[in-house]
Amino acid sequence: MHGKCFYYSVEARNHNTKTAEGVIEKDLKTLSKIKELGIAENVIFIIFDDYYYLKEPEKCKKIKNLLEQHKKKITMLYHNSRAKLK
């Protein structure tokens, strides 16, 4: 199981040397490899998106599309900050 929590911009924190999509893609590739090698029967990726959901909706869509591409091999648990908007 691997968790990722975004309270801030990955790009700003890393002086634009990394992107949220790049960080997530790397994690998903690692989890896929763990499953392929038989190290784990099931793998889970958990993401809590407080930043992109609220501040950068276009980036949020890209992240959701990326997660969608990998959902056949990896169990995805996604949560955003909808509750903060009420």
58-69 pLDDT, tens digit per residue, is 999 999 999 999
- Say what the alpha-carbon torsion angle 13, 14, 16, 18 is, to the nearest 10 degrees: -120
Q: Alpha helices of 1-86 — where are they, by DSSP H?
A: 10-13, 20-36, 52-55, 57-70
The overall pTM is greater than 0.85: no
15-44 pLDDT, tens digit per residue, is 888 899 999 999 999 999 999 999 999 999
Q: Kindly list the domain boundaries of the chain, sorted by start residue.
A: 2-85
